Amino acid sequence: MPRRSLPAHAARPAPPGPARPEAVPPVIRIRRLTKSYGHGDATVHALRGPYDPDTGAPLGVDLDIEQGDYVAVMGSSGSGKSTLMNILGCLDVPTGGRYLLDGIDVGHLDEQQLSLVRNRKIGFVFQSFNLVPRTTALAQVELPLAYAGVRAGERRRRALAALSLVGLAGRSGHRPNQLSGGQQQRVAVARALVTAPAMLLADEPTGNLDSRSTEEVLALIDGLNATGRTVVLITHEDEVARHAKRVLRLVDGVIVSDVRQAPVDGPPPAADRAEVPA
Q: Residue 275 pLDDT more than 70? A: no
Question: Which residues partner with 149 through β-bridges?
Answer: none
Lowest mean pLDDT among 149-158, 184-193, 265-274: 265-274
Enumerate the β-bridge partners of residue 254. 251
In tens, the pLDDT along 18-40 reads 444 456 789 999 999 999 998 87
Give the angle subtended at the CA of 206 by the CAs of 188 and 72, to the nearest 5°.
100
User: For position 276, what pLDDT does the model report?
Assistant: 47
Q: Is residue 96 part of a domain?
A: yes
pLDDT for 40: 79
For 35-80, what is each residue's pLDDT tens digit?
A: 999 887 788 889 999 999 999 899 999 999 999 999 999 999 889 9
- The SS3 call for residue 163 is helix
Close Cβ partners of 242 (under 8 Å, ≥ 6 residues apart): 261, 269, 270
Q: CA–CA separation, 72 vs 236, rounded Å? A: 9
What is the C-alpha to C-alpha distance for residues 102 and 126, in angstroms, rounded to an integer? 22
SS3 annotation, 74-100? ECCCCCCHHHHHHHHCCCCCCCEEEEE
Tell whether 240 is covered by a domain: yes
**Which pLDDT value is given to residue 96?**
94
> Does pLDDT of 5 surpass 90?
no
Residue 29 within a domain: no
Identify whether 53 is part of a domain: no
Number of domains present in the structure of the chain: 1
DSSP 64: E
For residue 4, tell me if it sits in a domain. no
Domain coverage including residue 165:
65-273
User: Is 57 inside a domain boundary?
Assistant: no
Residue 56, in any domain of the structure: no
pLDDT surpassing 50 at residue 178: yes
| CATH number for the domain harbouring residue 156 | 3.40.50.300
With respect to residue 43, please indicate whether it lies within any of the assigned structural domains.
Answer: no
Q: Classify residue 27 by its DSSP letter.
A: S
Distance CA 31, CA 150 (A): 35
Instruction: List, for residues 180-235, the tens digit of each pLDDT value.
Output: 999 999 999 999 999 999 999 999 999 999 999 999 999 999 999 999 999 999 99
